Structures are given as C-alpha cells and as structure tokens.
Structure 1
Amino acid sequence: MVRPLLVKVTCGADDPERANQGFTVASLAVAAGAEVSLWLSGESVWAAVAGREDPFTLEHAASPRALVAAVRAAGTVTVCSQCAARRGITEADLDEGARIAGAAVFVEEALRADVQALVY
C-alpha cells in the first residue's frame, strides 16, 4: 500500500533548486500511484497561475509548470490563501484544478492517518 504524500513547496525563483526538488518529488509520487497533495506557498504559487510562463528555469530540470500540471492531473494542487492574497491572486487566476486554501486545511491534510509530509 502506498501512503498519501503531502508536499509543501515554500519557495520558487528565490530558491529554484529547492522548489524544483519539491515539484519533482510530488510529480514522481503521482507517477508511482501515490495520493499526492501539493501545497504551494511563497514564490512557488506562480507555478499554478494560468497563462504564466515558468517562474524559473533550472538547468537539467523539468519545467516547474509541467511538473505541477502532472500533479494537478492526478492529485491536488493548493495555493496558500495568505500567499495568494499578498500577490493579488484569486481562484479565477489559477490553472484549472488548482485551488486556494488556508492553514486549517493544510493541518487537516497533514494529520490524516498514514500521511507522509515533506516540506521544501
């Protein structure tokens, strides 16, 4: 049995290697059949905003938006509500299938039975 995975990415263009690692782990977990919930906070939120180019590029790494899209296709992608508000982002701005939610929902997901949480 594969247990659920909760991945929180707290950076983006400000720390592209760390952000890319979180996006990569989440997308590979989806490919492995895990139930994945990817949470974006800080500068990582731009990876879920519709119509935007990649928030950063990183040599030898997949596109951040493509990795997030892979998670969105089979898992859950959530943008931090406070982070979205600080950047003027609303649900209407997000890619289809992404949502905005707050810390209470994050804690609820993190406390589910058998969940493995990783923070990048």
Structure 2
Amino acid sequence: MAKKLVIKVTAGADAPERCSQAFTVAAVAVASGVEVSLWLTGESSWFALPGRAAEFELPHAAPLPDLIEGIKAGGGTITVCTQCAARRDIEEKDLIEGARIAGAQVFVQEAMADGVQALVY
C-alpha cells in the first residue's frame, strides 16, 4: 500500500458522482491510516468554502461535510489550486479551517514523492 495518496478532484456539482467518489476515497483512505492530500480544482474548489459542501446532494452518498470532517480529523490535507481559486476570487482567508491554496509545483512535488499513489477524478 502507498504511504501517501494524492487525490485531485476536477469535478464539483457539475459531475456529482465523480466528485463524491473522490471525497469518499479520500475519507476511506484516511480512516484506513493512509496519509491523504486532497486537491480541489475547477468546480470542486467551492467546497473549500464554509457551508458550500452542505449544498451538495447526491442520493445514496455520504454527506460531503461529513467526508471533509473525516479527512481533516484523520490528518488529511485539503488544498485548493491557486489558479482555480483566483478564477473564483477565493482567497486563503475564505477557506474552511485547515484548507490551503497552493499551485502546480506543490502538487507535482507531492505526487512525485516516493511511496505516493496519485488519483485524478
């Protein structure tokens, strides 16, 4: 098993099943003891803002706020893409507690580190 899992979510409410899968995999991995770095890009960037995850609905899926809390409680990191944040006028001060904004260089560093498995949804 990989020492760390880096997950990039490229979908939000525009592709709810894909979005939910990414958050679910991240939460399950954290609960299983895997170090997780969850990257929010594109429309998923909105879920790093307070209250936005509660607006997401998908039948038969775990609530997004619960998944996010599980990821954070288990030590997972949540990062919003720098360019995606800028296009949506999202600033670091706007984010949920524990989330950050970082760019492609940090993503590549994390994804290319030894023992890392990367997934894109």
Which category describes the TM-score, using the shorter chain as reference length?
A: over 0.9
> What residue is the counterpart of 1:101 in the other structure?
102
Counterpart CA distance in 2 for 1:77 and 1:98 is: 5
For the 8 Å contact 1:47–1:68, the answer to whether it is kept is: no
For the 8 Å contact 1:91–1:99, the answer to whether it is kept is: yes
> What residue is the counterpart of 1:43 in the other structure?
43
Q: Give the residue type in structure 1 aligned to 2:42.
A: G
Change in Cα spacing, 1:53 to 1:30, as seen in structure 2 (3 Å) is closer
Q: Give the residue type in structure 1 aligned to 2:117.
A: Q
TM-score (norm 2): 0.93
> What residue is the counterpart of 1:79 in the other structure?
80
Counterpart CA distance in 1 for 2:120 and 2:53 is: 24
Structure 1 runs of 4+ off > 6 angstroms? none
TM-score (norm 1): 0.94
Structure 1 vs Structure 2 CA RMSD: 1.3
How many residues are treated as equivalent by the alignment? 120
Kindly state the Cα deviation for residue 64 of structure 1 after the two structures are TM-superposed: 1.6
> What residue is the counterpart of 1:113 in the other structure?
114
Change in Cα spacing, 1:60 to 1:110, as seen in structure 2 (3 Å) is same
Kindly state the Cα deviation for residue 93 of structure 1 after the two structures are TM-superposed: 0.6
